[in-house]
Amino acid sequence: MLVGCLRGEADIEVIGEASDAITANEAIVRCNPDLVTLDIEMPAMDGLSFLRHLMKFRPLPVIIISSHTPPGSTTSLEALRAGAVDVMSKPLSPQSAADLGRRLKRRIRELRACPVRVRPLAQRRTTLRLPARRPRMAGGLIAIGASAGGPQALELLLTQLPPDVPPIVIVQHMPAAFIPLFAERLDQICPMRVAVATPGEKLMPGVAYLAGGNHHFVVEQSGGSLLAGATRGSPVHHQRPAVDVLFHSIARLRGVPVVGVLLTGMGHDGADGMVALRGAGHETIAEDAKSCVVFGMPREAIARGGAGHILMLEQMPATILGHFDLPDETGRATP
């Protein structure tokens, strides 16, 4: 079915098929593909184990297509953390087969248009050396957008920030049913609390708010408080929630220091929003190509002049924290 949906596309060629991990490994070495689609249930070695093997010895873009990866499943999230650039469910009907074909072709073309640097989470670990005396954090807001490769990048970045950071608002492109599971995973490992944003709730320091699915995430101002907001609206750049919608809403805030961060991802969602944030006088950070899984969204932000800083992922925590450091009692910045 997959071969059939791709056959006839002038810019896509299927150069090999395999029904088990051993045959697949041989075919990958022989054919040197640009991308692999991978099932979870296979003879001899399951797909997750084979994915981890590929990421260690032959990193390349992998799209998981399996009946074992329904939206919201733990297997789906583990595949993304292991290095898969996307996860799709096997179709249950002819109608859903057509939807899968369209989505798969779009992803293949997006990946071809973006430089891809695939590294599993285990190879992206880093440790931030925080000062012995923690700086006091000023009020403000941290806004983050991410797409393909984002689950890995967010896990690394958030675990390196202290628990008393200003509120963090996040749009991560992923199917709606994955988001609560992803928030739960981050909440278990991050210093701050991580939760799916509830429309109308007050944004509090020490909490990271993940956009829910199927609606756009915005930040609203009421008196001296920042509130999570939601709007249905049409998808923007094929996405709902969209990073651009969040960033544009934040650019309209008054009297709130903001750091906007655009991480790895395909396409250009968030690029215009970064321009708006920078134009409003806020700090903006785009992820450097050297640490991006997919250098698409950050590349567009840089090209449009929206990036005040271009940093590798491991450099970001210190820059973010430096923007919110309060002076000590002598009036000097805390060392």
Q: Reply yes or no on whether 11 is catalytic.
A: no
Instruction: Determine if the peptide bond prior to 241 is cis (ω within 30°).
Output: yes
DSSP label at residue 89: E
* Burial 219-238, CB ≥16 within 10 A → b, else e: bbbeeeebbbbbeeeeebbe
Q: Give how far Cα 23 sits from Cα of 29, 41, 302, Å.
A: 10, 14, 41
Out of 39, 86, 244, 269, which one is annotated catalytic? 269
Name the β-bridge partners of 62. Answer: 36
In whole angstroms, what separates CA 160 from the centre of its chain? 16
Q: Reply yes or no on whether 187 is catalytic.
A: no
Out of 76, 173, 249, 323, which one is annotated catalytic? 173
Q: Which of 91, 144, 151, 85 is nearest to 121 (CA)?
A: 151
Paired sense of beta strands 86-89 and 225-231, if any: unpaired
Q: Reply yes or no on whether 269 is catalytic.
A: yes
Name the β-bridge partners of 294. Answer: 116
Out of 66, 147, 249, 291, which one is annotated catalytic? 147
Could you give the strand order of the β-sheet that contains 309-311, starting from the edge strand earlier in sequence?
Answer: 193-196, 207-210, 168-172, 141-146, 258-262, 283-287, 309-311
- Which residues are designated catalytic? 147, 173, 269
